[in-house]
Amino acid sequence: MEKKLICVSCPIGCELTARIENGVVTSVTGNRCPHGEAYARQEAIDPMRVLPTSVRVIGGELPLVSVKTDQPVPKRLIWQIMDHIRTLSIEAPVKIGQVLAENIMETGANLVATREVRLAQEQSPSRSALFE
């Protein structure tokens, strides 16, 4: 069997063909460099993706913080990982790059914040309260 793929390792986007026999990639053609072969061998058998999503924040100026895995995780595990991420919450403040979960679902990837969330400002007294 053959699988047609586009290499996403650089902007050239070579059109790759991976030949698969008995669940093993036996050859890759169409790549202009070794990155394409490595990409096709992984993508044809067990595709990997960086997972961007968000996590609940407690006591922050925003209710959610954007996050992503710091390395690709198996695409076949993404829904399980999302179910796990939905159970997480983090207390503000959150810094960019802060690790919110290590080795998520035993994939070796950490979940890191991709933006800052400061503590929620304390409510300032209302105008009328100031003049009472």
Residues that bind ligand SF4 (CB under 6 A): 7, 9-10, 12-14, 31-33, 35-36
> What is the side-by-side strand order in the sheet with 111-113?
89-91, 52-58, 64-69, 111-113, 99-101
Q: Alpha helix locations (H) across the chain?
A: 34-45, 78-85, 127-130
| Phi, psi of 64, rounded to the nearest 5 degrees | -135, 155
What is the smallest separation between the CB atom of 29 and ligand SF4, expressed in angstroms? 11
Rg (C-alpha) for the chain, rounded Å, is 22
What is the smallest separation between the CB atom of 1 and ligand SF4, expressed in angstroms? 21
Q: Tokens standing for 25?
A: 């990639």
What is the smallest separation between the CB atom of 5 and ligand SF4, expressed in angstroms? 10
